[in-house]
Amino acid sequence: MRVLYRLVLFISVTVLMACQFSKTEPLPYLGPHRQVGDSTVYYRVDSFAFFNQDSQLVTAESLRGKVYVVDFFFISCPTICPVMTKHMKELYNLYKSDPRVVLLSFTLDPRHDTIPRLKRYAHKLGVSAPKWNFLYGKKEDIYATAPKFLISAAQEDDTDPLTIIHSGKFVLVDGEGHLRSYCDGTSKEEVYRLAEDIDRLLDEMTNEGHE
Amino acid sequence: MKGMNNQLGPIVLSISLILAFFTGCGERYPQGKALYEAQCAWCHMSDGTGLEGIYPSLVDREDLRQQLWRIPCAIRYGVYDSLRVGDDTFSLVMMGFPELTDAEVSNISNYIALSFLKLQEGPYNERAVVEMLKRCRSREDTFRLLKSKLQSQ
């Protein structure tokens, strides 16, 4: 019994210390980096420009200084998208009053998900831009943008949205366009873990601002 | 130490009884649950809550309790009309699952009735479902019409 007690104590102290440790450690920079002289150049999402449901242009530039979460979806998606949208809505509610956090959902089916349809969808879901942007653009541009966020997406038959296959990842991007964290958007636990990473990025921004 | 063990006995026993009770309840329609998870949960979610404004929740739906036949009808033939639940209107089409047998439709419906409509007993069986599906036959014409309309688009 005494051994068990000690074991439990040891484990709890270790876990507590691990938590403390992970809180102070900065989030990693994802994607390839280059060494230029003494400094490391981290991968960043440099350029994209799409229209949101209000026909406003959203670009990589316009999101500088914002922390944003990205996913790729389409309205008639019969599998993973509904639960991803449900989890994105939880992030929407969590960060409703913090203008530093923005959500982007790119449609993989612009043929059917037109701007008015995305607008209706957002309205029914009870969400709006500029917090949550449903992004529309030329199909080839959207499919070329997904890999920039290290998200895979493809469509076998152009006319049939049911042949779209895509990753259910949520990717977290910092104020400079660096990819800093990601999670499986279909898992509630993972999405809440991502929310902790959002908080860490926001702390990072606040600290940098004070220096 | 020995006294503590004696006290633990009944606690462990009651916890396992409670656990057995709850897991037992959830598994009254194991096939219904498995099919629900595989086919329905994508949109209506594992907990039946749906997606606000987009896919209707199934939890505590008084309209479904009053019109139990609508569940097997929706599973077999889909829902092609826009649907009003309370103040919300749902306009996305639900595809039917014509490949599911009467018994499977009955099991899924019972799982929904027990887990989400909070009924004490499953109101469906194969025979009842066959009868209920006859009631939605009249809607099949609308369904065919809408389907051909969708395909011609």
Q: Are A76 and A109 contacting, i.e. CB atoms less than 8 angstroms apart?
A: yes
Phi, psi of A49 (to 5 degrees): -150, 120
CA distance A49 to A136: 9
- Candidate CATH numbers 3.40.30.10, 3.30.70.330, 2.30.110.10, 3.60.120.10; the one for domain A34-210: 3.40.30.10
Residue contacts between A and B (CB atoms, under 8 Å): 32
Each residue's pLDDT tens digit, A163-204: 899 999 999 999 999 999 999 999 999 999 999 999 999 999
Any idea where the domains of chain A sit in the sequence?
Answer: 34-210
The arithmetic mean of pLDDT across residues A28-50, rounded, is: 93
pLDDT for A20 equals 52
pLDDT for A9 equals 64
pLDDT for B79 equals 87
Q: Are B29 and B35 contacting, i.e. CB atoms less than 8 angstroms apart?
A: no
In this complex, which of B1, B45, B95 lies closest to A86 when CB atoms are compared?
B45
CB contact under 8 A, A82 and B1: no
Q: Are A91 and A71 contacting, i.e. CB atoms less than 8 angstroms apart?
A: no
Each residue's pLDDT tens digit, B41-91: 999 999 999 999 999 999 999 999 999 999 999 999 888 878 888 888 888
CA distance A12 to A18: 10
Q: Are A100 and A66 contacting, i.e. CB atoms less than 8 angstroms apart?
A: yes
In this complex, which of A1, A76, A85 lies closest to B51 when CB atoms are compared?
A85
Q: Which two tokens stand for residue A210?
A: 């004070």
Q: How far is B127 from chain A (nearest CA, A)?
A: 30
Closest CA to A72 of A151, A187, A189: A151
In this complex, which of A78, A83, A125 lies closest to B52 when CB atoms are compared?
A125
Any idea where the domains of chain B sit in the sequence?
Answer: 29-152
Residues from A contacting B (CB-CB < 8 Å) are 1, 75-76, 78-80, 82-83, 85-86, 89, 121, 123-126
The residues, ordered by sequence, that sit 6+ positions from A130 with a Cβ below 8 Å of its Cβ are: A52, A56, A102
In A, which residues are within 8 Å of B52 by CB distance? 89, 125-126
- Closest Cα in chain A to B151: A160
**Domain B29-152 belongs to what architecture?**
Orthogonal Bundle (1.10)
Q: How far is A27 from chain B (nearest CA, A)?
A: 32
CA distance A153 to A172: 18
In A, which residues are within 8 Å of B40 by CB distance? none
Q: How far is B115 from chain A (nearest CA, A)?
A: 19
DSSP string, chain A: -HHHHHHHHHHHHHHHHHHHHHHHSPPPPPS--EEETTEEEPPB----EEE-TTS-EEETGGGTT-EEEEEEE-TT--SSHHHHHHHHHHHHHHTTT-TTEEEEEEES-TTTS-HHHHHHHHHHHT--TTTEEEEB--HHHHHHHGGGGT--EEESSTT-GGGEEE--EEEEE-TTSBEEEEEETT-HHHHHHHHHHHHHHHHHHHHHHH-
In B, which residues are within 8 Å of A76 by CB distance? 92
CB contact under 8 A, A82 and B54: yes
The answer to whether B150 faces chain A, any CB pair under 8 Å, is: no
Q: B137: how many CB neighbours lie within 10 A of its CB?
A: 11
CB contact under 8 A, B43 and A82: yes
Q: Which two tokens stand for residue A46?
A: 């440099």
Question: Does the ipTM exceed 0.85?
Answer: no
In B54-73, the residues whose Cβ lies within 8 Å of chain A are: 54-55
The model's confidence at residue A206, banded by pLDDT at 50, 70 and 90, is: confident
Each residue's pLDDT tens digit, B5-14: 567 777 766 7
Q: Give the pairing of strands A101-107 and A132-135.
A: parallel
